[in-house]
Amino acid sequence: MRGETTPEEDTEGIRVGFLACADGGLFAPFLFFTSSQKDDQSSNRLLEGTYKKPWQKLFKFRGIGVRVGVRKMLESLWSFINQYFIQPMYTRSGYNAYNTFVYAFLFGFGVIYSYRYIIRPLKIKVDERLFWAVTPMIIFGATVRALVDGGVLPENPWILTPGIFFTAFLLIVPALVIDARMKTYPKITVAWGLVLALWANYMLVTHARNWEPYELTLLHTFVSWVPVFVIYRYRPFDRLYLYPVLAHLYDMGSTVVAIHFYGYREVHWLENILVGHFGAYFYYPWITFILVVVYYGLRWLVPDEEERYFWYLAIYILGLGPAIRDPAQLVMQIGG
């Protein structure tokens, strides 16, 4: 409860207060000490030689209060993490303001440090080869995530969102390192990704129930790609940014099909509000607007061309992953 103080008494008569300023999990513990009627006897004993100096007894009381306060603070912290981060992975209740902010923060740091401490030291050029090299691993991760939703694979934090991103990252980095050291880049990375992607898609095909959602997704995707290719003839943006644009249009197609045709709901909290007011097809102008803002924002914020291209790759991954996962999930969940 916001601003509610819940005092507790310990055996020595010291009153420990814990003030939980809780608003969706934000809290601030405060410890305070007051005297009760029981303290009269304790205060007499305090000066009767049990402790040689009064402040020693006070420090004992203060230590008890700190331990109680820390325990309550940790319980509140765990409750917050469980409600807003762990449970949404299993219940598919979607993203919320808290985990969206934290995941975005981690994503930004992940992009920056992956480029500075992996890509650049390995002297891997951020170009179309790198985009194609990571694509099989994206397909693997997205398909595995769909297999969980389809009931084919058991739920596990490492193959749920966002854990699957970490899993795919940990699987692809060693391949990139070996490729760079052996001067074989990107052969090992592509081969390793293809092996995993083929296994995941074999599991998908053998458990598919209805391919109609995939057909509708591809129809929406190809129609939305036509104006992009027409506009790109005038080179309004970098060539490498074409990859994230096409990936997110693919993602839009799969999301629109799931919501409009099959009654699924949007799991991202802001988009869920917008779709609720304007319908699923509002996704197209909304995501297009975001892609334009992101493009010019990166040109302004990231002057280094190579690093900016790596941000394009990160946005490509964010788009292609859900684009592959959503229709794969539908073909296993929608009856024929």
**Residue 50 predicted with pLDDT over 90:** no
Burial track 302-329 (b if 16+ CB lie within 10 A, e otherwise): beeeebbbbbbbbbbbbbbbbbbbbbbb
Residue in 162, 172, 107 with CA at minimum distance from that of residue 133: 172
Residue 91's pLDDT band, with cuts at 50, 70 and 90, is confident
Spatial neighbors of 59 by CB under 8 A, at least 6 apart, are none
**Residue 255 predicted with pLDDT over 90:** yes
pLDDT, mean of residues 19-30: 35
The token pair that represents 184 in the structure block: 């074989």
**Residue 88 predicted with pLDDT over 70:** yes
pLDDT at position 47: 41
**Residue 22 predicted with pLDDT over 90:** no
Residue 54's pLDDT band, with cuts at 50, 70 and 90, is low
Half-sphere exposure for 170 (CA within 13 Å, toward CB): 7
CB-based contact 207:150 (threshold 8 Å)? yes
Strands (E), 21-99: 33-34
Residue-wise pLDDT tens digits, 93-109:
667 778 888 988 999 99
pLDDT at position 36: 40
* Alpha helix (H) residue ranges in the chain: 39-46, 54-81, 87-91, 97-114, 128-149, 163-182, 187-207, 212-232, 242-262, 269-278, 283-301, 305-333
**Residue 52 predicted with pLDDT over 70:** no
The dihedral built from the CA positions of residue 138, 140, 145 and 150, taken in this order, carries a sign that is positive
Share of the chain above pLDDT 70, in %: 78
The span from the CA of 312 to the CA of 249, in Å, is 15
Residue-wise pLDDT tens digits, 113-151:
999 999 999 999 999 999 999 999 999 999 999 999 999
Q: Where are the domains of the chain?
A: 4-84, 97-333
**Residue 5 predicted with pLDDT over 50:** no
The token pair that represents 232 in the structure block: 């790109």
pLDDT at position 66: 65
Low-confidence winner among 28-37, 162-171, 182-191 (lowest mean pLDDT): 28-37
pLDDT, mean of residues 328-336: 83
Element (H, E) at 15: strand 15-20
pLDDT at position 33: 37
The residue written with tokens 């053998």 in the block is 206
